[in-house]
C-alpha cells in the first residue's frame, strides 16, 4: 500500500536522527513502519550490504571536502589517537553486523532519551497518540552507557588545508569550559 510518505534515519556515534513526512491520514502507519525498523526489524544481509556500501561511499566522498579535511585535522590535533579519530575510516561500516545493530538497540534505545517533535496539519493530542503508539514497548529508562574517553590536550594552533579541487576551509575550535 502506498502511504505517500517519506522517511529518513541517520544513526551516528552520538545521536540518531530521523524524520517521517506524510499526509495526516497516513502518518500513523508511516510512523509505525519507521518505529518498527528502529525497535526491532533486522535488515537482511542484502540490505545491510547495500547500506554499508552507501555509507562507505558517502564517507569517502565527505573525506574529499575541504571543510571535512580541516575538521578532521583539528580533531586529530586535539584528540590524537582517539576512538573518534579512528572512526574516520570509511571501511568501519563493513564491520557492522546485524548482531551489532541489535546490541545497539538493547543498550541505547529508550523512551527517556527519545526527543520527538511534530508539525503540520495535526493536533498536539493526535501527534502524541501517534508517537506513543509507534514507540510503545521501549524501555522507560536504560542505564547510561559510560564511555571512558582518554584525556585530551589542545595545543594552540591554526589549521589551514589547501585542497586542489575544492575551496579552502579553516576549522576553528577551542576549549570553552
Quick one: average pLDDT of 84-100?
85
Specify the 3-state DSSP secondary structure of 24.
coil
- Distance of alpha carbon 95 from alpha carbon 84, whole angstroms: 16
Model confidence band, residue 44 (pLDDT cutoffs 50, 70, 90): confident
Model confidence band, residue 174 (pLDDT cutoffs 50, 70, 90): low
DSSP β-bridge partners for residue 169 = 161
Q: Is the model more confident about 75 or about 172?
A: 75
Quick one: average pLDDT of 46-54?
88
CB 62 within 8 A of CB 166: no
pLDDT at 158 > cutoff 80: no
What is the structure's pLDDT at 117? 81
Quick one: average pLDDT of 110-138?
82
What is the structure's pLDDT at 148? 76
Q: Is the model more confident about 53 or about 177?
A: 53
Radius of gyration for the chain, computed over Cα atoms and rounded to the nearest angstrom? 20
Model confidence band, residue 62 (pLDDT cutoffs 50, 70, 90): confident
What is the structure's pLDDT at 172? 64
pLDDT at 84 > cutoff 60: yes
* Average pLDDT over all residues of the chain: 80
- Distance of alpha carbon 110 from alpha carbon 135, whole angstroms: 9
pTM across the whole model: 0.61
Amino acid at each position: 500500500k502506498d502511504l505517500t510518505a517519506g522517511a529518513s534515519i541517520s544513526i551516528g556515534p552520538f545521536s540518531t536522527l530521523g524524520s517521517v513526512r506524510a499526509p495526516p491520514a497516513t502518518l500513523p502507519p508511516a510512523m509505525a513502519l519507521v518505529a518498527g525498523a528502529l525497535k526491532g526489524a533486522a535488515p537482511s544481509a542484502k540490505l545491510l550490504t547495500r547500506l554499508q556500501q552507501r555509507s562507505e561511499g558517502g564517507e569517502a566522498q565527505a573525506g574529499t571536502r575541504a571543510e571535512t579535511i580541516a575538521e578532521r585535522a583539528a580533531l586529530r590535533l586535539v584528540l590524537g589517537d582517539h576512538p573518534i579519530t579512528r572512526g574516520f575510516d570509511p571501511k568501519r561500516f563493513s564491520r557492522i553486523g546485524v548482531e551489532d545493530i541489535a546490541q545497539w538497540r538493547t543498550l541505547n534505545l529508550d523512551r527517556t532519551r527519545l526527543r520527538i517533535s511534530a508539525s503540520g496539519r495535526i493536533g498536539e493530542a493526535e501527534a502524541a497518540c501517534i508517537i506513543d503508539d509507534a514507540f510503545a514497548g521501549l524501555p522507560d529508562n536504560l542505564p547510561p552507557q559510560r564511555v571512558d574517553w582518554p584525556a585530551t590536550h589542545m595545543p594552540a594552533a591554526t589549521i589551514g588545508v589547501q585542497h586542489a579541487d575544492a575551496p579552502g576551509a579553516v576549522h576553528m575550535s577551542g576549549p570553552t569550559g
